[in-house]
Structure 1
Amino acid sequence: MAAAAGLASSAKETLPPALGSTSQPPPVFDGTTSLYICYFCPFAQRAWVTRNFKGLQDKIKLVAIDLQDKPAWYKEKVYPQGTVPSLEHNNEIVGESLDLIKYIDSNFDGPALLPGDAAKRQVADELIAYANAFTKALYSPLISHAEVSDEVVAALDKLEVALSKFNDGPFFLGQISLVDIAYVTILERVQIYYSHLRSYEITKGRPNLEKFIEEMNKIDAYTQTKNDPLFLLDLAKNHLKIA
């Protein structure tokens, strides 16, 4: 499994502009491997981080979609679900972020992001499977304008405990893996949202979670995909209709 890969500094990638409703579509199914993302979508960010960590910037082209002005051709010609991320590879389209990060890991060169060890692999599968439920638990009170719920506390405590299972590093499986990528882009946002909108610090009393976020923020493959926190907060306020 990957150790120090992704930590090495590299020149910041020049990102293509996001394509909107009046943009011409790029060539589709022409043999180019393309990752369709939105720069501020946490689910697309998972695939983007995985691509970067494996050093695939020259092999997987980024195509940014403006989700606030989505081009019709994206759904018609590329991915019928119309969501991001999706990957065009070998004349096929793969979508759904948790499936896609596994696909990128297993179909491309670069550091392996899932363990060979059977015990760690079982934990990895369980935690990746829980990621959607975690996201729902953390976002639901924000969407419904409710206070911090017992479900939120329990979900965060579950991660705190999970982060203590292996002692060979600060990540979920000790060393960095797809599990970390599955959670960090969600945590990046809910840490901001709960701090500003609920006066609740998600890392308070959770030293493992605090250390995890601190260590992830040392990894270029992740930090190069991050947005300005206040930009994310403004997006959330807009979406939640908060003045």
Structure 2
Amino acid sequence: MSSGVKEVLPPPLDSSSEPPAIFDGTTKLYISYTCPYAQRVWITRNYKGLEDKIKLIPIDLQNRPAWYKEKVYPPNKVPSLEHNNEVKGESLDLLKYLEDNFEGPSLLPDDPAKREFAEELLSYTNSFNRAVVSSFKADSISEAGATFDYIENALGKFGDGPFFLGTFSLVDIAYAPFIERYQPFLLDAKKYNITEGRPQLATWIQELNKIEAYEVTKRDPRSS
């Protein structure tokens, strides 16, 4: 897990920045400090204790450098991972890639039932995000409420810990950056408390905030 030594975060690179050395044998994780998709992979890197093995390269998404699309990752999105002379993208794929190809604490259990449920929950993340975001402009919060009910029920499935699979896993990492943003927004804009009547979700958020590998990635840590 995270070493406990606070990492000095580099400043984001923008259109005026020179590119880092590309395909020089250094494993690099291109992120934005404010992107929830990139935050997923950043948390995983930290939890597995890979701060010295995977270098963070933050990108300014509002003023992104042309070389990122031209030389690093043509889709021009974050996150992306440069490893073994290849660049891979898509946050959920990268979570599994780090789990399968790097050392550190396992973030998927051996239990077949839990692994199957993990796949179900990872597949649900896009539906979850669509439902919640659509409620931002809707008159009713019912669609978002139903998705948070799904999360509440999922958290109670195994009953052997505060996290989705009992112990902290890739599933928690997949949802954490988004719930982190939805909770205050819905409370402020819709006066909707996502934890009301959902004790499992309330406990999950409390326990999540105790995990240093996640805590150091919350929102834009460089601006606080």
- Normalising by structure 1, what TM-score? 0.88
The root-mean-square deviation of aligned C-alpha atoms, in Å, is: 1.6
Are 2:73 and 1:79 equivalent residues in the alignment? yes
Please show how residues 53-92 of structure 1 align to structure 2 within 5 Å: 53-92=47-86
Call closer, same or farther: CA 1:103–1:200 in 2, change over 3 Å.
Answer: same
Take 1:130 and 1:121, find their aligned partners in 2: how far apart are those partners? 14
Residue 96 (structure 1) aligns with: 90
Are 2:179 and 1:225 equivalent residues in the alignment? no
Structure 1: 5+ residue stretches without partners: 233-243
What do residues 64-119 of structure 1 show as CA deviations (whole Å, max 9, x unaligned)? 00001111111111111111000000001111001111101110000111111100
What do residues 46-78 of structure 1 show as CA deviations (whole Å, max 9, x unaligned)? 000000000000000000000011111111111
Asked if structure 1 preserves the Cα contact closer than 8 Å seen for 2:33 and 2:220, the reply is: no
The residue type paired with residue 54 of structure 1 is K
What do residues 21-58 of structure 1 show as CA deviations (whole Å, max 9, x unaligned)? 11111111111100000001100000000000000000
Match of 1:141 among 122, 135, 154: 135
Please show how residues 43-192 of structure 1 align to structure 2 within 5 Å: 43-142=37-136, 145-192=137-184
Are 2:202 and 1:199 equivalent residues in the alignment? no
The residue type paired with residue 112 of structure 1 is S
Take 2:119 and 2:186, find their aligned partners in 1: how far apart are those partners? 28
Take 1:26 and 1:152, find their aligned partners in 2: how far apart are those partners? 41
Residue 209 (structure 1) aligns with: 201
Please show how residues 16-35 of structure 1 align to structure 2 within 5 Å: 16-35=10-29
The residue type paired with residue 219 of structure 1 is I
Structure 1 residue 148: deviation in Å? 4.0
The number of residue pairs the alignment matches comes to 223
Q: Give the fraction of aligned pairs with identical amino acids, expressed as a percent.
A: 59
SS in 2 for 1:63: strand
SS in 2 for 1:16: coil
Take 1:140 and 1:77, find their aligned partners in 2: how far apart are those partners? 35
The residue type paired with residue 173 of structure 2 is I
Residue 34 (structure 2) aligns with: 40
The residue type paired with residue 118 of structure 2 is A
Of 88-97 and 132-141, deviating more is 132-141
Take 2:77 and 2:117, find their aligned partners in 1: how far apart are those partners? 28
The residue type paired with residue 193 of structure 2 is E
